[in-house]
């Protein structure tokens, strides 16, 4: 007997007949798989770039991003300078230590990256890590719909606000009138309200860096 060989035409037809994965299926798979540490890096800065997958051979993305690198806020001393500038306190370059001024470009780059829009996959990765910390995470039948609803309501919250600190802050909330808020899965509106202060802090850091660099150039020629 001669061995049978697969028919290339039939193989191609069968492949073309397979349904393409939908966004909902992708998000559901992301929620169902074990969490992975973020591996997407910005060019030359070591900072995660939201919505951009790591490049493989030939520049092709190897896999979608699984999360957002945590935002590293500026030092308390630099934030104190931001607050002084926002309060219209007159400051000169001589009032600021050189080391503090040298930290402004790094803070500016980090705040700019943290201000980028969040993606639905990033939201799914953040919610997946929240699941084990609450008592009522969504099941397989509702996980994708829950993620889409939260993303739709919270899409204006920048990527840097979706970090480990915000997740811990949620679960560490004290009970409200006997209701264990932090132990329960959030509604979209509850989560947006919770994340808003983190987003505001990033916006204030951006404004503070911008004002400081505009009034006190870091490089003099």
Mind listing the pLDDT tens digit for each residue in 157-166?
Answer: 999 999 999 9
pLDDT tens track for 19-36: 434 444 444 454 545 444
Mean pLDDT of the chain: 76
pLDDT tens track for 139-150: 999 999 999 999
The whole-angstrom separation of Cα 43 and Cα 205 is: 21
Q: Residue with structure tokens 């493989």?
A: 56
Tokens representing 108 are 């500016």
Neighbouring CB atoms inside 10 A of 102's CB total 10
- 3-state DSSP call for residue 6? coil
**What's the confidence (pLDDT) of residue 158?**
97
Task: Using the predicted structure, report yes or no on whether residue 168 has a pLDDT greater than 60.
Answer: yes
- What percentage of the chain exceeds 90 in pLDDT? 52
Cα 186-187-188 angle, rounded to 5 deg? 115
Task: Using the predicted structure, report yes or no on whether residue 14 has a pLDDT greater than 60.
Answer: no
Q: Residue with structure tokens 């699984």?
A: 66
The whole-angstrom separation of Cα 167 and Cα 161 is: 10
Phi first, then psi, for residue 105 (nearest 5°) are -60, -40
The 8-class DSSP code of residue 33 comes to S
Choose among 181, 109, 140: nearest CA to 25. 140
Q: Which residues pair with 176 in a beta bridge?
A: 179
pLDDT tens track for 112-145: 999 999 999 999 999 999 999 999 999 999 999 9
The 8-class DSSP code of residue 55 comes to B
pTM score > 0.75 for this model? no
pLDDT confidence tier of residue 101, bands split at 50, 70 and 90: confident
pLDDT tens track for 30-53: 454 544 433 333 333 333 333 333
């Amino acid at each position: 007997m001669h061995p049978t060989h697969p028919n290339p035409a039939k193989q191609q037809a069968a492949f073309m007949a397979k349904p393409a994965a939908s966004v909902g299926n992708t998000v559901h798979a992301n929620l169902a798989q074990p969490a992975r540490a973020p591996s997407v890096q910005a060019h030359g800065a070591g900072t995660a770039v939201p919505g951009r997958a790591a490049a493989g051979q030939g520049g092709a993305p190897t896999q979608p991003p699984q999360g957002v690198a945590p935002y590293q806020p500026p030092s308390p001393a630099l934030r104190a300078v931001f607050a002084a500038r926002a309060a219209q306190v007159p400051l000169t370059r001589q009032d600021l230590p050189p080391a503090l001024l040298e930290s402004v470009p790094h803070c500016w780059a980090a705040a700019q990256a943290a201000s980028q829009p969040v993606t639905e996959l990033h939201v799914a990765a953040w919610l997946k890590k929240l699941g084990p910390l609450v008592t009522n995470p969504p099941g397989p039948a509702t996980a994708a719909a829950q993620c889409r609803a939260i993303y739709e309501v919270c899409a204006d919250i920048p990527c840097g606000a979706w970090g480990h600190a915000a997740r811990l802050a949620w679960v560490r909330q004290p009970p409200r009138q006997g209701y264990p808020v932090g132990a329960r899965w959030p509604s979209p509106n509850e989560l947006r309200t919770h994340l808003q202060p983190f987003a505001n802090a990033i916006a204030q850091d951006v404004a503070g860096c911008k004002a400081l660099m505009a009034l006190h150039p870091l490089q003099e020629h």
